[in-house]
Amino acid sequence: MDLVFETAPSIFSPNSIDNGTLAMLSVIDFLPGDKVLDLGCGYGIVGILAGKLIGEENVVMCDVSEQAVECATKNLRMNNVPDIRIRLSDGYKNVEESDFTLILSNPPYHADFSVPKHFIEGGFKKLTIGGKLIMVTKRLDWYKNKLTSVFGGVKVYEIDGYYVFIAEKRRQAVKEKEKKTGDLSKKLQRKQQRSKINREK
């Protein structure tokens, strides 16, 4: 498949497709019925490929960089997928949808972990049951531990010096989160009840 991209020096991997992105794409099958979020889309490689394979209407792209969004928007037109929805968004902030089957991300792993933490925790909420968050980084332990704690498990592939993580949103993990939230609510209720009794005394 021939794709054409306009890039800019300030956008991630402007001269060629990043090897991490290629590693991530090597483990993904885009299937009919998928709804894809390209999270941190850069100039649009992943989202545009997905749009070509499963239809423009099934893809959302977002990035925190205005220049990346401008570049990606031009690339949508150049590759004849102009109807892919693209948003200027800090993570999920301007992404209203919560029924994705695939969320794909090559997060900025040279910074601190606040960005991937938001991507992982928010991703769990934005996926359908059976949906998958797929990330690629050069770091193993933190991502493996965080994804396991949020999703209840993760598959890891080591490809060309990168780690590709696939975490699936399972019904059981949702139930466990609801139970924990419920337990927390009961604790808060008891705490409030105790403070009320103390005030009355």
Q: What is the mean pLDDT of residues 92-116?
A: 90
> For the segment 100-110, what is each residue's pLDDT rounded down to a tens digit?
999 999 988 66
Give the pLDDT confidence of 67-89 residue by residue, as tens digits.
999 999 999 999 999 999 999 99
Q: What is the pTM of this model?
A: 0.85
Residue 195 is predicted with a pLDDT of 60
Q: What is the pLDDT of residues 128-178, one digit of tens each?
A: 999 999 999 999 999 999 999 999 999 999 999 999 999 999 987 676 766
Neighbour count for residue 118 (Cβ, 10 Å): 15
SS3 63: strand
